[in-house]
Structure 1
Amino acid sequence: MGIYDFNILSEHDRYDILFTKGQFVDTVSEGHLRYALYSMSYFWVEVQYHALENKVIGISSFVAGKTLDRYSNVPKTI
């Protein structure tokens, strides 16, 4: 499945595909927000979770860029 096919699915179906076929990679915490990164072969999916409210607040897919950089251990430069 490609990113465009994934993006046209309903939100429910995106979560279903992600949690059954995606490969968990890592998590990052920023305050009360938690981000979980999954690999879907040819693209990445990030699930955003609000810890205080105990609920998933979003899902997004991407190929590269600043969102993926969040999971890097490389120090940020100015």
Structure 2
Amino acid sequence: MTLYEFNMLSQKDKETVVFEQSEFLHVETIDGLKYGLYAKDTFFIEAVCFTDSLKVRDITAFDSGELINKYLELLK
């Protein structure tokens, strides 16, 4: 799957790909939100969930830019 194909998915399908078909790399909790980093094929995905309910707030896929810089130290 490419980054473009992932971004074209519905929210429900994105959640399926993230939580069932991607490799979990890291999680951190900040201000009541869990930020999960996942790897899928040639890109990364950040899933932001509410800590208390684990309901997904946002899913962002990326292969470069500021988000990758945020996680570079963790991936070494």
Q: TM-score range by the shorter chain?
A: 0.7 to 0.9
Identity level (%): 29
SS at match of 1:64: coil
TM-score, normalisation: structure 1: 0.80
CA RMSD of aligned residues (A): 1.7
Range that drifts further, 59-68 or 38-47 = 59-68
Q: TM-score w.r.t. structure 2 length? A: 0.81
Higher CA-based Rg: 1
Q: Which runs of 5+ in 1 are unaligned?
A: none
Alignment of 1:1-78 (within 5 A): 1-52=1-52, 54=53, 55-73=55-73
The number of residues matched between the two structures is 73
Deviations 1:33-67 (A, max 9, x none): 11000000200011101224x22211110112222
For the residue of structure 2 that corresponds to 1:71, the secondary structure is helix
SS in 1 for 2:17: helix
Where do 4+ consecutive residues of structure 1 move more than 2 Å? 68-74
**Structure 2 unmatched runs, 5+:** none
